[in-house]
Amino acid sequence: IPDTAPRAVPTSQPQVQLSFAPIVQAVSPSVVNVYATRIEAQSASPFANDPFFSRFFGDQFQSRPRESRALGSGVIVDGSGVILTNSHVINGATDVRISLSDGREFAVDVIVEDQQTDLAVLRVRDPRGVTFPAITFADSDKLLVGDLVLAIGNPFGVGQTVTSGIVSALARTGVESSNYEFFIQTDAAINPGNSGGALVDMQGHLVGINTAIYSQSGGSVGIGFAIPANMAKLVADAGVTGGAIVRPWFGAKMQAVDSDIATSLGMDAPHGALITEVAPDGPAARAGFKSGDVILSVDGQKVDDPSAFNFRLATKPIGQTTKLERLRGSATDTLDFPVEAAPAPSDNATATISATSRFSGVTVRQLDPALAESKNLPYDAKGVIVTAVAPNSPAEAMGLKVDDIILQLNDTVITDAQSFSTLASQRVRTWQIILQRDGRVSRAIVSG
């Protein structure tokens, strides 16, 4: 505000009594407490495998299940009893319950758990005829640094709590290891237990889902982060309609434009997403993008780095055409980009082993460019990737894990799911397996 702006003391009782109370009264019924129960194995005693102690104490030292509870918050997004929260609040839970601001409790089912955005959708199991107070979504793209916001949640499990602050930054990245980092930063006090709660504007509309804090002590230090409402709404809509989350695929790998790259490209300041590799016959290639191009904006909204581009594209509906501003060489132009999903795998691109085999219980999918990109692999990566391992199955006992890439079985190079299925269903004396895990290739020999 300019120094010449008039200053005045309140001249009436209503001006003195201005507060956030009307917003809180309207919004707080839409914010719930989330209680997630997990069954975890206790650490075994260091004496568990000692024959001497086992002789006298039997299995007393063996690990036993232990119940743990996590506390978080959630936001009602549909009157039928659909709640949006964070994935990390309910991940691995065997029982999830919510309580309303008036104390009523309901059991809920997890209907969407999207770890890519750290969001989850819950649905009340038995609404008992209750119509729940749903919140209204705001357009988070209209949020500005300096806007007043309220954070509502259940910090430390003490009960519903409201804090106020401002938007202190937008488009923050490097906060969590999620696929779509583009956080709203606020100085409204957010503490453990606020995760999944509401960040609302002065109209009482949801602008974000409180997700993380920056803290060295575990408590609030005035830097909290929220997932923007425009991303949260996509996940919430999938939960309300019962549909799957289908995201756009661009089909190119990118990196941030640093100062050296900006200088070499003749840019005034470093910003944008530099394309480093394009998937063969992918959407980006068909639209005319090439390695070395820099994407500067999406539908007129500036792109600072690849995270910003991924977020902007992810919020566009499939089938829509979006305008991408591109820098190539010293010239800029704008391309119409048809937003499309990654191609779905064909029926023969996946396989589940159910035969009497050491691989029984494993499900694999053969790699394609879109899948390879999502796993940070080269577009031409070969092999099949493990997508599921059944609990207590021979495959689990053998040590296979999700995201393992099986490259070779008994000197046979694995190129597709069907050849893997045929080979892995056989009974042999021994298996020689070459697989890639966490970027490292290893060889193992196991009995058949």
Closest CA to 344 of 360, 368, 320, 308: 368
Q: Is 194 flagged in the annotation as binding?
A: yes
Q: Is 421 flagged in the annotation as binding?
A: no
For residue 114, the number of C-alpha atoms closer than 13 Å in the C-beta half-sphere is 26
Kind and range of the H or E element at 278? strand 273-278
Closest CA to 409 of 391, 429, 433, 428: 433
Q: Is 88 flagged in the annotation as binding?
A: yes
Closest CA to 123 of 108, 141, 142: 108
Q: Dig out the tokens for 419 from the structure.
A: 């050849």
Q: Dig out the tokens for 47 from the structure.
A: 């004496």
- In the set 114, 118, 201, 293, the catalytic residue is 118
- Determine whether 205 is an active site residue: no
**Residue 211 φ then ψ, to 5°:** -130, -40
Count helices and strands in the chain by DSSP H and E runs: 11, 25
CB atoms near residue 29 (< 10 Å): 16
- What lies within 8 Å, CB to CB, of 7 at 6+ separation is none
Closest CA to 86 of 205, 201, 232: 232
Torsion 120-121-126-128 (CA) sign = positive
- In the set 28, 73, 78, 88, the catalytic residue is 88
CA distance 398 to 429: 15
What would you report as the CA-atom Rg of the chain, rounded to the nearest whole angstrom? 26
Q: DSSP code of 30?
A: G
CB atoms near residue 42 (< 10 Å): 10
Q: Is 195 flagged in the annotation as binding?
A: yes
- Determine whether 271 is an active site residue: no
Q: Could you tell me if 63 and 43 are in contact, meaning their C-beta atoms sit under 8 angstroms apart? A: yes
- In the set 30, 87, 195, 357, the catalytic residue is 195
Q: Could you tell me if 209 and 84 are in contact, meaning their C-beta atoms sit under 8 angstroms apart? A: yes
Residue given tokens 């104490």 in the structure block: 57
Q: Dig out the tokens for 65 from the structure.
A: 């299940």
- What lies within 8 Å, CB to CB, of 215 at 6+ separation is 221, 223
- Residues labelled as active-site residues: 88, 118, 195
What residues are designated binding site? 88, 118, 193-195
- Binding-site residues for substrate sit at 88, 118, 193-195
